[in-house]
Amino acid sequence: MTSVDETLLRALVPTVIGVLVRRGAPFAAAEDAVQEALVKALTSWPDDPPAHPRAWLVTVAWRSFIDASRSEGARRDRELRLELEPEPGAVSDADDTLQLYFLCAHPKLTSSSAVALTLRAVGGLTTRQIARAYLVPEATMAQRISRAKRTIADTRLTEPGDPATVLRVLYLVFNEGYSGDLDLAAEAIRLTRQLASVSADEEVAGLLALMLLHHARRPARRLPDGTLVPLAEQDRSLWDTGLIAEGVDLLQGALARDRLGEFQAQAAIAALHADASRVEETDWVQIVEWYDELVRLTDSPIARLNRAVAVGEADGPRAGLAQLDELDPALPRHTAALAHLHERAGDRRVAAALYAQAAGLASNTAERDHLMRQAARLGQSAGLA
């Protein structure tokens, strides 16, 4: 018994869906059939690996589609359609794959449906794997996916799409990180790589660079017990230099084409952090300039908040506090940023109280615990504890 190369298997899924659709299967039925073939492959390939994995998947999925059509009593229609269906010629696998990304990230879908459908139809994951990654029951995830497919039932696979919606979905998957059994960050990188291989869009390269540069830091981001280590305190020798080099290369290639977008700007910020082998060497002035670009491109209040923190490093904490003062205090991490800048300015008592307050506002346990430890550290040294 050999183990199945799941990555190879998954990479075949979008092209096999494309083959079925070109042969005349509606997208929703084709996707179901390929999912069934995928589940069969995962159980039968270890004992009986096929000589031609792709052909195997096409055959099994097509048979499954035919069976499903028969049981729906649509046999005659389907056979008629088959007779008329011309053999595919000019359409390539790459086109199919790109169209699938667009379809699964269709603007009609909610972000959670788009994420689920992308992971299944483009990512080749099973419903069970996706459900476990997002910590919901398999039945719930199955419903989310079939509902998503109904929503886009009238959309043709050949309809042109907007790369920005696809990138948003992949970014969401990446940012979800590692919550269940499945490494969603790695999965997002795989899907973005696959997208970059069929699209020359600068922002696709920008997003891939951003992911690689952040993924490079992952070994340093948590202690073995799960404790969050902030960027400034990370052991930079643990950063993956191979991923950093690849990310920087991609980014430089994209920036050279002079069509800046938000992901390239974010990647540029990550690259400047990656470039500093010690935190003291960080080029904060350039980072502030990139945040200016990011604010210009997105007008995002989160970007303004991060910019204020960078200004605090470039021009001193008072300057950063002045910037923060102009932002909505209800922004996520506003209080945490305030605490950090007050500590840098030497107001330890104020900072301790703000850290404690920020811990209460944190949206995740790792950040909450980190902020509480900061509050405890300052409180103790200021004689407050």
Partner 1 sequence: MAKYLLLKHYRGAPKGVNDHPMHEWTPEEVTNHIQYMHDWSARLEQTGEFVDGQALSPDGTFVRSDGEGRPPITDGPFAETKDLIAGWMVIDVDSWERALEVAGELSAAPGYGGKPIHEWLEIRPFLTEPPTVTE
Residue pair 233/251 in contact (Cβ under 8 Å)? The answer is: no
Residue pair 250/208 in contact (Cβ under 8 Å)? The answer is: yes
Q: Which is nearer to partner 1, 4 or 302 (by Cβ)?
A: 302
Q: Which is nearer to partner 1, 28 or 366 (by Cβ)?
A: 366
Residue pair 251/264 in contact (Cβ under 8 Å)? The answer is: yes
Among 110, 197, 241, 381, binds partner 1 (CB under 8 A): 110
Among 178, 223, 245, 318, binds partner 1 (CB under 8 A): 178
Near partner 1 in 302-321, by CB under 8 A: 306, 309
- Please tell me whether residue 246 binds partner 1 under the rule CB under 8 A: no
Reported as half-sphere exposure (CB side, CA atoms, 13 A), residue 314 has a value of: 16
- Going from the C-alpha of 21 to that of each of 10, 61, 82, 95, 179, the distances in angstroms are 18, 11, 11, 13, 34
Closest separation between CB of residue 2 and partner 1, Å?
Answer: 33
- Please tell me whether residue 324 binds partner 1 under the rule CB under 8 A: no
Q: Which residue has the tokens 């904490």?
A: 317
- Please tell me whether residue 331 binds partner 1 under the rule CB under 8 A: no
Q: What is the rounded distance in angstroms from the CA atom of residue 25 to the CA atom of residue 30?
A: 6
Site string for partner 1, 185-204 (x = CB under 8 A): x-------------------
CA dihedral sign of residues 172, 173, 174, 178: positive
Closest separation between CB of residue 185 and partner 1, Å?
Answer: 6
Q: Which is nearer to partner 1, 140 or 381 (by Cβ)?
A: 140
Residues in the interface with partner 1 (CB under 8 A) total 45
- Going from the C-alpha of 106 to that of each of 31, 101, 155, 161, 372, the distances in angstroms are 16, 9, 9, 8, 41
Binding site for partner 1 (CB under 8 A): 110-113, 115-116, 134-137, 139-145, 147, 171, 174-179, 185, 210, 214-215, 228, 231, 266, 269-270, 273, 306, 309, 333, 362-368
